[in-house]
Amino acid sequence: MISGTAAVDELAAGAPEIAAFGTESVRLGGVTGLSLVAELRRPAREAVLPPGLHPIVPPAMSLLAWDVSESPWGAFSAAFVRVVCRSGARARTFCVGAAASTDDAVAGLRSQFGFPAQRTHVALRRHYDGVDLTVAPAGESDNGASVGHGAGPMLELSALDPDPLSVGDLQHVGSMNLAHTPLGLRLVQVETHHEPSRVERLAARIDAFDAAAWGQPLLDPYWVVSCSVSLEDVEIPAIRFVCDPALPAAEGTERVQ
Amino acid sequence: MMKFGIFYELSVPRPFSRANEWLTYHNALEQCRVADELGFDHVWTVEHHFLEEYSHCPAPEVFLTAVAAQTQRIRVGHGAVVCVPEMNNPIRVAERAAALDIISNGRLELGTARSSTWTELGGFCADPDDTKKTWDEFCRVIPQMWTDDDFGWEGARFEMPARNVIPKPFQEPHPPMWVTVTTPGTELDAAERGLGCLGVSAAPFAEQERRTKEYYRRVANCDPVGSFVNDQVHTLNFLYCHEDYRQAAALGLPMVGAFSMSNAHLYFTREAYPTRAYQTLGNAGAALRSRGTANGSTPADDPSVAKGLPEGVGIGDPDHLVRTIRKWEDVGVTGINFLLNAMEMIPQQQVLDSLRLFATEVIPQFQTADERAARVQAPTTVPEVSSPDGSAHSTMPAGASR
């Protein structure tokens, strides 16, 4: 069994801070969600994960994007770049980078759930025959969170030819977010619950991906596996488990509520 | 009568080396020879591709040919051929299987499957949406290729002009056919086609009983794809048998845990590719469900809790294993295939000792006196076969015509 080899100290630089674990879930209403899986090249397999997580074969990236109509943080758009992994025997993703279009969303995602969100321009546009997603730097944010590097887009993708699926055909995998918590530096397990009313699968193409801007230059999503779009409500429950990033889940898991 | 088999994924420990690959294959071959001598009924070998650590067995027909050549009576289970055209053309499956049946003197069992991982399907650029359809078509054409001298086909996913697919298998009318059952519901697909149910994922007794009962109900009225109905239900288990239960657990349970963990680390199709064709996470999902059902209290999202270790695992002393197998027998299972090792965690000598103890103390508990006597018979050989010039030379086993 292989484990991540990334230096936890280096991953911790810039990790969000969760001052106190919340007890309330956050509900996102009227969400257009995009989910894309792409295979990564081999050098990224172990090198991007902390020792407490295990890569899969082949290494893969899971991109999630939301356009949210209603939330405690107002309307916003967000995108999450995640590496598919295992925590113990569980299917998970490790969130390498995140972007959100408003300061309130950035603050909420960082402080409540440990997503390494930065303020950016995020545009998820759904058309009758497809979807476009653009993530681009948006300048300095109010809370001081760092912003994408360079002048080009951090991400551009387009997807065409929606093919309807049943709502149960789409599986979502939880996210492990590295954050400074009251228990110390921990992988925070975020399990989103999705209530889709419509799911479509599309053929997608990644037109631009600035790995460094997402905080992990080794990411190279060279082979798109699948792309889907859903109309859904999303609940982000309060955090229940955290894991020591340096230990296997069987040894390093703590229940926080 | 309960059948006992051994089952190989050929899992290889890291760090990978040529020596480790060699050792895994050759240890398995030695186990097959010993199992043959001890009276085990089957040796099954999977087909998997790219599944590092979990299974280094992409060419089971080669491994099984070696098994056939080195054994006398144990049946060789090609379990299972992946029925996806990007991996296997059905003509080649029929040809290879027939040749293996001839080489083994009519000891072949042919399993069929469609693969559950993106690692494999994606590696061959196969469309996950199509695998159920191609599996269905393979199951229908292969037995016809074996029995029809002038076979042609125009189907949804496969077509060929009429040819005589040769050689024909040694067994008449053809070898028994099976379906590997990973996800719940596939046993019904097996039943409707008159195919044997080759379980490859763990299920608790109650769940297995429910599935088995429904399988038997449906298979009784099936429309068989082959020339006969194979209505056997086999399940997969682990085996480590030792006189001392504690020693059995000390060596056997880590093996089970390591195997289950390596299985959970596969990249299942459903996780990578949303599709109607894959509704569950394969073996890992089944193991998770069984755990949750067994104790009812395991949080589904607790990452510190390992999946798997369902009830009825074949780890323990002989008395425990007899009791455990009785329960499997009671729920309608007609055969159990055992994984003997994982990542070579158990030293080879202890694997062989476990096999011998099981064969001595456990298997006889499930046999009548006549069956015990039959198992120790030497392989049967019969009439001489004449060559075209009329000279008599080789002998043909009695099982040639069923």
Residue numbers in A near B279 (CB within 8 A): 168-169
Start-to-end C-alpha separation, chain B = 19
A89, A170, A255 ranked by CB distance to B264: nearest: A89
SS3 content of chain A, % helix, strand, coil (to 5): 10, 55, 35
Put simply, whether B261 touches A (Cβ < 8 Å) is yes
B51 shares contact with chain A (CB less than 8 Å): yes
DSSP state of A169: G
Give the pLDDT score at B201.
72
> Residue B242 has what pLDDT?
97
Q: Which residues contact B197 (CB under 8 A, 6 or more apart)?
A: B178, B179, B181, B187, B190, B191, B212, B215, B232, B233, B234
B122 vs A165: CB contact, 8 Å cut-off? no
Report how many Cβ contacts below 8 Å link chain A to chain B: 111
Low-confidence ranges of chain A (pLDDT < 70): 139-151
pLDDT of residue A188: 98
Peptide bond between residue B173 and the one before it cis (omega within 30 degrees of 0): yes
Peptide linkage before B169 cis (omega within 30 of 0): no
Give whole-number Cα distances, B43 to B9, B54, B75, B125, B340, in Å. Answer: 11, 18, 6, 30, 11
Q: What single letter denotes the amino acid at residue A104?
A: D
Q: CB distance from B298 to chain A under 8 Å?
A: no
User: Across the 402 residues of chain B, what is the mean pLDDT of every consecutive 10-residue run?
Assistant: 96 95 98 98 97 97 98 96 98 98 98 96 97 96 98 96 98 97 89 94 83 95 97 96 95 93 92 87 45 42 54 93 95 96 97 98 91 58 51 49 38
Contacts of B307 in chain A (CB under 8 A): 89-90
Q: Provide the residue type at A57 as one letter.
A: V
Taking CB atoms and an 8 Å cutoff, what residues of chain B touch A35?
274
* CA–CA min distance A190, chain B (Å): 10
In angstroms, rounded to a whole number, what is the distance separating the alpha carbons of residues B376 and B379?
A: 9
What pLDDT is recorded for position B217?
96
- Kindly list the domain boundaries of chain A, sorted by start residue: 8-255
Residues in chain A within 8 Å Cβ distance of B261:
1, 88-89
Cβ contact, residue pair B274, A84, below 8 Å: no
Q: Is A165 on the interface with B (CB under 8 A)?
A: yes
Q: What is the CATH number of domain A8-255?
A: 2.40.400.10
**Cβ within 8 Å of B, A 7-46:** 35, 37, 39
CA-CA distance, B292 to A151, in Å (whole number)?
Answer: 50
Q: Residue B222 carries which side chain, given as an amino acid letter?
A: C
pLDDT at residue B262 in the model: 92
Optimal mutation site among B304, B305, B307, interface A, most CBs of chain A within 10 A: B304
Backbone angles phi, psi at A48, to 5 degrees: -100, -5
Please state the separation of Cα A240 from the chain's center in Å.
Answer: 18
- The pLDDT of residue B278: 86
What is the predicted ipTM? 0.92
> Nearest-CA distance from B78 to chain A in Å?
25
Among A75, A108, A79, which Cα is nearest to A95's?
A: A79
Contact A86 B304 (CB under 8 A): no
Distances (CA, A) of A135 to A99, B1, B180: 8, 64, 45
Per-residue confidence (pLDDT) for residue B272, from 0 to 100: 96
> Are A91 and B271 an interchain contact pair (Cβ–Cβ within 8 Å)?
yes
For residue A2, the chain B residue with the least C-alpha distance is B14
Q: Are B109 and B179 in contact (CB under 8 A)?
A: no
A72 contact partners, CB below 8 Å, separation of at least 6:
A26, A27, A108
Instruction: Determine contact: A208 vs chain B, CB below 8 A.
Output: no
Beta bridge partners of A121: A136
Phi, psi torsion values for B95, nearest 5 degrees: -65, -50
> Measured between CB atoms, which of B52, B264, B272 is closest to A60?
B272
Domain ranges of chain B: 3-400
Nearest to B274 among A171, A241, A250 (CB): A171
The contacts of residue A213 (CB under 8 Å, 6+ apart) are A97, A137, A148, A149, A150, A154
pLDDT of residue A181: 98
- CATH number for B3-400: choose from 3.30.360.10, 3.20.20.30, 3.40.50.300, 2.40.50.100: 3.20.20.30
The reply to whether A219 touches chain B by the CB within 8 Å rule is: no
Say whether A250 and B299 touch across the interface (CB within 8 A). no
